[in-house]
Structure 1
Amino acid sequence: MTLVLDKLGLARNGEVHLDGVSASFERGSLTTVLGRTLAGKTTLLRAIAGLQPIDSGRMERQGCEFGLLPPWRRDVAMVYQQFINYPHLSVFDNVAFPLRQRGVPDAEARSRTETALGMVGLSDFRARAPTALSGGQQQRVALARALVRRADILLLDEPLVNLDYKLREQLREEFRGLLTSQSDGIVIYNTTEPAEAMMLGDRIVVMHHGRILQAGSPKEVFERPANVAVAGIVNDPPMTILHGRLEDGRVTFGNDVGFPAPKHMDELSRGSYRFGIRATEILPSETGGVIGRVEFSEVSGSETFVHVVTPLGEAVMQLEGVHHVLTGSQMRLSFRPERLFAFNADGEGELVRAPTTGEY
C-alpha cells in the first residue's frame, strides 16, 4: 500500500514551504528525508499527518484521497524533535496511553508497552515520572509511545537530535531494526545528517527550499548527486565546489593550477564546469596544487576538518587523527583528480560526470 504525494504546494506569508513536492512511499520501507534546516522536511511530515493543510496537490493511499481524511483517521504516529510527554503520568502510562485510548485489552496493552519500553532501554524506568528523566530518556518515552501504536505510517522528525552523543551513536546502529521490526507500514525519518540518512534508509529523499532535488538508494544519491546542491547536502562536510575548465585533456583552475583530466571525463566536451571534490580527497602537499590560508580547523572525534581559503575558492579538507593547525597559517593543497565530479557551470549545476563506482 503506497502513499503517493502529487505536486504538494504550501506557502504562508509569502514564504514557500512546499514547492511541487511529488514522492511515493512504499509499505515496509524506511525512507529518510535529508535536508538542511528550513528545507521543508517538518512541513512535509505535518502535511502527511494532517496537521498542516496544503494549498495544492493531492495525497493518495489505497486508491482514496488520503489528504481529505481528518488527522484521526489517517493512522499516523509522529515523533517530534522536541519530545512531548504527559508529566502527570508515569513512563509506563505514557507509553500505554494510545493503546488505552483505543480500547486495547489490558493484557495486550501491558505486553506491548513492556516490549516497547525494552526496545528503547527504559524497562527499569517504567514507574518514574517523565520529569525525573534526562532529556534523552524523555525523547525515548515519546518514541516508545509512537512505536507501541504500530500505526500504518510512522513519522519521525529528527528524533535523535536531543540525545547525548554516545546514546545517539548507539541508537543509530539499532534504529533500523527497531523501526522496521515494529511495523510493515511506512516509516519516514527526517534528518539533517547525511551519515544518519545513509545508515538508516532504504531510500533517501533530498529536500532543499521546499523542493525534492533527488530520490534514490543511499548508494545512488551518494555516488551520483543530481546537482551541486545535492552534493553539498549529502556530504559532511559539504563537497568543495570549484570553478574550472576542461580543455586539451586537462582540468585547469585559474592560471596556475591544473592536471591531466581523469579517465571518466574523456568524453566530456571542453568548456567551463563546476568541479566537486570531497573533503577526504583533498590532501596536504609539499609541491604543486594550490596555496591557501587556513581560516579555521575543528576536531570532531578522531578527525580534523581544515577550512582553507584559496585563490580558487574555499576548500575543506578532512584529515584522519587529531591535528593542531594554526589559523592564518599557509597550507598547500592537492586534489585527487580521479575523484573529481563535474557539474554544469550554469543553472542548478546538474551532474555531468562522476567517478565510476570502481574508483571508490
Structure 2
Amino acid sequence: MTLELRNVTRQVGGQIHIRDLSLTLEHGTLNVLLGPTLSGKTTLMRLMAGLDQPTTGRVFWDGADVTGVPVRKRSVAMVYQQFINYPTLSVYENIASPMRVAGQPKEEIDRRVREVAELLKLTPLLQRTPLELSGGQQQRTALARALAKRAGLLLLDEPLANLDYKLREELRQELPRIFAATGGILVYATTEPLEALLLGGSTATLAEGRVTQFGRTIDVYRRPNSLETARIFSDPPINTLAVQKSAGLFSSAAGHLKLPASGSWASLPDGAYVVGFRPDHLYLAKPGPDAIAISGKVAIAEITGSESFVHVDFAGERWVALAHGVHDLPIGQPVPLYLDPNRFLLFNASGALAAAPGARAAA
C-alpha cells in the first residue's frame, strides 16, 4: 500500500499553491509535513485525500490512479486544527459514525470507540454532545473519530494545537504507537520543528508549495540538504554567517571571525559559503577544546524557566543562543560567546549543503 503524488501542481486563479511536487509514502509509515504557515501543507493534504484535484500531475494509491476519485470513495480520515463534529450526536456517536456508515459490527464499533475514548480521556464524556464540551474536548472527539475509523490514509493537520500542554505531550508519544498497530499511512502537518522530532518517522520540509527534502526525520534535521531546509527545521531560526574560503581559511566579510579550513574542509574549493549553526550550538560557556571564543552584545534575553533565549549582536548579525538555566542579562552588555566548528553546517553560494557535522566533505 503506497500513496504517490507524481509531478503534482495545484493552481487556484493565478496563484500556485503546490508546484511540480513528487512524493511517495509507504504503508505503515508516519510522515510529517513540516513548514511555515502558507507553505502548502494543508493544500497538499487535501490533494492526498481527494478533496481537491491537481491542476496537473497524478495521484496514485497502491499503484492505481485515483486522481479523479472523490474522497468518499477512498479510505481516508482527516482532522483539521479547526475541528468538525456532528453537533446533535453524542461524543460516542460522533466517534462511531464512520464505522456505522461502513457497516461495521456493533461489538467492533463499541470496542474501538471505547479504546480511543480511553486514550484521549473522553470516557466520562461519551454521552455528552459537542456543545457541552470545551474546545479541547471537541478537538479530541474529532481526533478519536479519525483514529477509530482505521482508514488506510490518516491526515492530521496540526491536530493538537488546541489541546493543553500535558495532553499534547502524551498524544505525541502515543500517536506513533497507535498508528503502528493499525497500519496504513499517517501524515501529520505541523509548523513546529520540535514536534517533528518528537514524532520521529519521516519528514518532508515544505517551502512555497515545494518539498525541499524528504527522509528520516532525524536525518533531515542533522543533514539538511540546503540552507532553506535548515531554516525550516530550526526554531528559533538557525544562525548564519557569510564567509569566504581562501588560503586555507574561512573569513567573515568584516574579518571579525576566521576559521581554519582543516581536515575534510581543506578539499572544498575556494569561494563564498554560509556557516550555519543552531541556537543550541551557540554557547555562553566554553563547550570543549575546539571552541572558538568571540564577543557579542546582548540584544534581549528571554527566560522560559529552565532555558533562556539570549539574542546577541555580533558584527552586524543577530544570533540567538539557547542556554540552559536562567540568564538575566542587561541589554547592551558584552557577553562571551563560543562556537564549535564541529557543530557547523556549511552551505555553498547556491545554498546547497557543502559540509555537515560528522561528514564535512561536500559531495
Same fold by TM-score, threshold 0.5 exceeded? yes
One-letter amino acid matched to 1:274: V
SS at match of 2:251: strand
Q: Using the alignment, how far apart are the partners of 1:135 and 1:297 within structure 2?
A: 34
Q: Is 1:39–1:207's contact at 8 Å kept on the other side of the alignment? A: yes
Q: Is 2:33–2:41's contact at 8 Å kept on the other side of the alignment? A: yes
Q: Using the alignment, how far apart are the partners of 2:136 and 2:261 within structure 1?
A: 50
Post-superposition CA distance 1:299-344 (Å, at most 9, x none): 3342111122322422111100122122343334231112111101
Question: 1:329 — aligned with what?
Answer: 333
Runs ≥4 residues deviating over 6 A: 285-288
SS at match of 2:194: helix
One-letter amino acid matched to 2:47: A
SS at match of 1:68: coil
Q: Is 1:246–1:272's contact at 8 Å kept on the other side of the alignment? A: yes
Q: TM-score normalised to the size of structure 1?
A: 0.93
One-letter amino acid matched to 2:311: H
Number of aligned residues: 355
One-letter amino acid matched to 1:327: I
Q: Using the alignment, how far apart are the partners of 2:191 and 2:228 within structure 1?
A: 14
Match of 1:316 among 294, 303, 320: 320
After TM superposition, the structure 1 stretch with the greater mean CA deviation from structure 2, 91-100 or 279-288, is 279-288
Q: Using the alignment, how far apart are the partners of 2:120 and 2:285 within structure 1?
A: 47
After TM superposition, the structure 1 stretch with the greater mean CA deviation from structure 2, 326-335 or 150-159, is 326-335
1:289 to partner: Cα distance: 4.4
Match of 1:352 among 351, 354, 358: 354
The answer to whether residue 197 in structure 2 is matched with residue 198 in structure 1 is yes
Q: Is 1:342–1:351's contact at 8 Å kept on the other side of the alignment? A: yes
One-letter amino acid matched to 2:352: E
1:51 to partner: Cα distance: 1.3
After TM superposition, the structure 1 stretch with the greater mean CA deviation from structure 2, 255-264 or 195-204, is 255-264
Closer/same/farther in 2, CA of residues 283 and 201 from structure 1, 3 Å limit? closer
Q: Using the alignment, how far apart are the partners of 1:13 and 1:285 within structure 2?
A: 53
Match of 1:307 among 303, 311, 322: 311
Q: Is 1:112–1:148's contact at 8 Å kept on the other side of the alignment? A: yes
Q: Using the alignment, how far apart are the partners of 1:310 and 1:179 within structure 2?
A: 46
1:278 to partner: Cα distance: 1.4
SS at match of 2:242: strand
Aligned-pair identity in percent equals 41
Question: 1:109 — aligned with what?
Answer: 109
Q: Using the alignment, how far apart are the partners of 2:228 and 2:295 within structure 1?
A: 26
After TM superposition, the structure 1 stretch with the greater mean CA deviation from structure 2, 240-249 or 147-156, is 240-249
Question: 2:242 — aligned with what?
Answer: 243
Pairwise mapping of residues 1-360 of structure 1 onto structure 2 (< 5 A)? 1-181=1-181, 183-253=182-252, 254-261=254-261, 263-284=263-284, 289-345=293-349, 347=350, 349-356=351-358
Closer/same/farther in 2, CA of residues 139 and 357 from structure 1, 3 Å limit? farther
Q: Is 1:228–1:351's contact at 8 Å kept on the other side of the alignment? A: yes
1:231 to partner: Cα distance: 0.7
One-letter amino acid matched to 1:55: T
Q: Is 1:154–1:186's contact at 8 Å kept on the other side of the alignment? A: yes
SS at match of 2:268: coil
Closer/same/farther in 2, CA of residues 269 and 337 from structure 1, 3 Å limit? same
Q: CA RMSD in A?
A: 2.0
Structure 2: stretches of 5+ with no match in the other structure:
none
Q: Using the alignment, how far apart are the partners of 1:298 and 1:160 within structure 2?
A: 25
1:288 to partner: Cα distance: 7.3
Q: Using the alignment, how far apart are the partners of 1:297 and 1:264 within structure 2?
A: 36
Q: Is 2:32–2:189's contact at 8 Å kept on the other side of the alignment? A: yes
Structure 1: stretches of 5+ with no match in the other structure:
none
Q: Using the alignment, how far apart are the partners of 2:174 and 2:300 within structure 1?
A: 35
1:273 to partner: Cα distance: 0.4
Q: Is 2:284–2:323's contact at 8 Å kept on the other side of the alignment? A: no
Q: Is 2:35–2:205's contact at 8 Å kept on the other side of the alignment? A: yes
